[in-house]
Amino acid sequence: MVKNPKGERRLSRGAKISLVISTLVVIIGIPTAVQAMTFTETEPSSTVTISLFQSILIGLGYYLSQSPWIAGLSFYTLNRPLVAGLLVGMILGDPGQGALIGAAINLIYLGFISAGGAIPGDPGLAGWVGTTIAIAGNLNYGAALAIAVPIGLLGTVVWNARMTVDSAFMHMADRAADKADIGGVIRANILYPQAWLFLITFVPVTIAVFIGASFIGDVINGFPVWLLGGLAIAGGILPAIGIAMNMKFIFLGSAIPYFFVGYLVMVVLGNEVSIMVLAVIGVALAFLHVVFLGDRVSNASKPKSEKLRSDKSAESEAAR
């Protein structure tokens, strides 16, 4: 058996099983219970209803956002609320609206970085299900962002269930390797993990969206005005976390002042110019900065890259 340098991340068998069961309970159980309650109320809703076919497409979309089938690009594309929002919009018949809501939700996940398999919320689930609820419930900007946050947190449960159970397929790959069975290794890398992924992504999302999306929209629209106002305020504040998470990686050393330069340039230009304008200014300044720091760069940034590397190799980094 191969020694695992990350042994401390491994969970016991009991913990694995309970994690899986709790995932299924949370994802299937809550919408079902919610649905059971709605039958007693039966109030007419002003919201968009979502057909079974649309729910299936959304469930399929969320599965694809975690799967390898789109040239392995899913993590950078379908898993980002910006792209997911457009696709949900297309499924529900309003691409422009979907793209806009997706863009808003994506602000929270701007600095989203998956480090060593641990993710702070799942932008994929927030994008797919969050946009669906926002369109179905006709939510305002702040409420759309605020509902995306808990949904993104729920997504970590899906992610953990996947990362934990997939360890078992690793041992199938070991057994196949013992028999020099190349096909067995390939099956252990694709077939079983993808079947499991399909089960924990497509099934719960389809059911939750079909049963719960319009209902959750109704509940939120029933909130008192001041509470909706609070969510709207949160909509203005939550992007700060996405930006700060990104800053954790690059707000370092001699690059720090440029953050304030970018901020002031945008304020002076009246907040309405395209990011492209800033990017062009940024490329020019980056070039000047690197040229004029010359050979001192490697020394000046040594502690930074050293630190990054030790961070990474300890946490062993990557994601998709």
Partner 1 sequence: MSSTETATSGATAAGGEKRITRKDLLMSWLIWTFFSHSNYNYERLQASAFAHAMTPIIKRLYGGDKEQTREALQRHLVFFNTSPDFGAVIHGITIAMEEQKANGEEISDNAITSTKTGLMGPMAGIGDTIGQGIVVPLLIALGISITGLGAQAQQSGDLTGITGNPLGPILYFILVAVFSIGVTYVMYTQGYKQGRSFVTSVLKSGLMDKVILGASVLGNIVLGGLTAQFVKVYVGWTVKAGETSVRIQQDVLDKILPGLLPLALVVLTWWLLKRGWHPIKLLVIYVIVCVLGAIPFMGPQPQFITDACGSSILQPYGPCADPVPPAEGE
Residue keyed to tokens 């290794």 = 185
User: Out of 17, 29, 222, 311, which residue is the one contacting partner 1 (CB under 8 A)?
Assistant: 311
Q: Which stretch binds partner 1 (CB under 8 A): 21-29, 50-58, 204-212, 233-241?
A: 233-241
Q: Which two tokens stand for residue 61?
A: 């979309």
Residue 259 C-beta: closest distance to partner 1, Å: 4
Instruction: Determine the number of helices (DSSP H) and then strands (DSSP E) in the chain.
Output: 15, 0
Using the rule CB under 8 A, is 23 a contact of partner 1?
no
Output the six-digit token pair for 248: 């954790």
Is 93 a binding residue for partner 1 by CB under 8 A? The answer is no
Q: How far is 235 from 75, CA to CA, in rounded Å?
A: 25
Q: Is 15 in the site for partner 1 (CB under 8 A)?
A: no
Backbone angles phi, psi at 65, to 5 degrees: -70, -15
Residue (of 240, 236, 284) closest to 258 by Cα position: 284
Q: Is the distance from CB of 111 to CB of 121 less than 8 angstroms?
A: no
CA-to-CA separations, 177 to 7, 42, 189, in angstroms, rounded = 21, 58, 12
Contact 105, 85 (CB under 8 A): yes
Output the smallest distance, CB 191 to partner 1, in A: 9
Figure out which of the listed residues 24, 149, 199, 203 binds partner 1, where binding follows CB under 8 A: 149
Q: Nearer to partner 1 by C-beta: 4 or 49?
A: 4
Tokens, residue 164 = 């934990």
Q: 122, 155 in Cβ contact below 8 A?
A: yes
Total of residues contacting partner 1 (CB under 8 A): 153
Contact pick of 63, 80, 92, 218 for partner 1 (by CB under 8 A): 80
Min dist CB 105 to partner 1, Å, is: 10
Sites for partner 1 among residues 261-300 (CB under 8 A) = 261-267, 271-272, 274-276, 278-279, 281-283, 285-287, 289-290, 293, 297-298
Of 50, 83, 92, 211, the one binding partner 1 (CB under 8 A) is 83
Name the minimum Å distance from CB 311 to partner 1. Answer: 7
Task: Show Cβ contacts of residue 21 under 8 Å, excluding neighbours closer than 6 positions.
Answer: none
Q: CA nearest 205: which of 19, 26, 45, 85?
A: 26
CB-wise, 37 or 180, nearer to partner 1? 180
- Which range, of 34-42, 49-57, 90-98, 210-218, touches partner 1 by CB under 8 A? 90-98
| Helix (H), strand (E) at residue 146 | helix 141-178
Please list every residue from 100 through 129 that binds partner 1, using CB under 8 A: 100-104, 106-108, 110-117, 120-121
Q: Which stretch binds partner 1 (CB under 8 A): 42-50, 55-63, 206-214, 311-319?
A: 311-319
Q: Which stretch binds partner 1 (CB under 8 A): 17-25, 202-210, 214-222, 230-238?
A: 230-238
Nearest distance from C-beta of residue 33 to partner 1, angstroms: 23
- Pair 91, 54: CB distance under 8 Å: yes
Enumerate residues 181-200 that contact partner 1 by CB under 8 A. 182, 185-186, 188-190, 192-194
21 touches partner 1 (CB under 8 A): no
Dist. CA 124–CA 79, nearest whole Å: 4
Contact assessment for residue 221 and residue 71, using Cβ atoms and an 8 Å cutoff: no
Q: How far is the CB of 196 from partner 1 (least distance, A)?
A: 10
